[in-house]
Chains A and B, each alone.
Chain A
Amino acid sequence: RKEVEQDPGPFNVPEGATVAFNCTYSNSASQSFFWYRQDCRKEPKLLMSVYSSGNEDGRFTAQLNRASQYISLLIRDSKLSDSATYLCVVNMGTGGFKTIFGAGTRLFVKA
Chain B
Amino acid sequence: DTGVSQDPRHKITKRGQNVTFRCDPISEHNRLYWYRQTLGQGPEFLTYFQNEAQLEKSRLLSDRFSAERPKGSFSTLEIQRTEQGDSAMYLCASSLAGDRGLYGYTFGSGTRLTVV
Residue in B35, B42, B102, B106 whose CB lies within 8 Å of A49: B102
Number of A-B contacts (CB under 8 A): 69
Contact of B107 among A45, A49, A94, A103 (CB under 8 A): A45
B58 lies within 8 A of chain A by Cβ:
yes
A93 touches B104 (CB 8 A): no
Decide if B85 is an interface residue (CB 8 Å cutoff): no
Contact-residue size bin, chain B (C-beta under 8 Å from the other chain): 20 to 34
For chain A, the count of residues having a C-beta within 8 Å of the partner chain is: 28
Q: How far is the CB of A64 from chain B (nearest CB, A)?
A: 14
Contact (Cβ within 8 A) B40 A96: no
Q: Which residue of B lies closest to A8 (CB)?
A: B40
Please, which residue of chain A has its CB at the minimum distance from the CB of B103?
A49
Of residues 23 through 62 on chain B, the ones whose CB sits less than 8 Å from some CB of chain A are 33, 35, 40-48, 55-56, 58
**A102, B42: Cβ atoms under 8 Å?**
yes
B110 touches A103 (CB 8 A): no
Q: Are B48 and A96 in contact (CB under 8 A)?
A: yes
- Does B65 interact with chain A (Cβ within 8 Å)? no
- Are A93 and B101 touching (Cβ within 8 A)? yes
Tell me the A72-111 residues at the B interface (CB within 8 Å).
87, 89, 91-99, 101-104
Rounded to whole angstroms, the CA-CA distance of A49 and B104 in the bound complex is 8
- Not counting A43-B110, A44-B105, A94-B100, a sample of 7 additional A-B residue pairs whose C-beta atoms are within 8 angstroms of each other reads A8-B40, A36-B104, A44-B91, A91-B101, A99-B101, A104-B40, A104-B41
Write the residues of chain B forming the contact surface with A, with a CB cutoff of 8 angstroms: 33, 35, 40-48, 55-56, 58, 91, 100-110, 112
Interface residues of A (CB under 8 A from B): 4, 8, 31-32, 34, 36, 41-46, 49, 87, 89, 91-99, 101-104
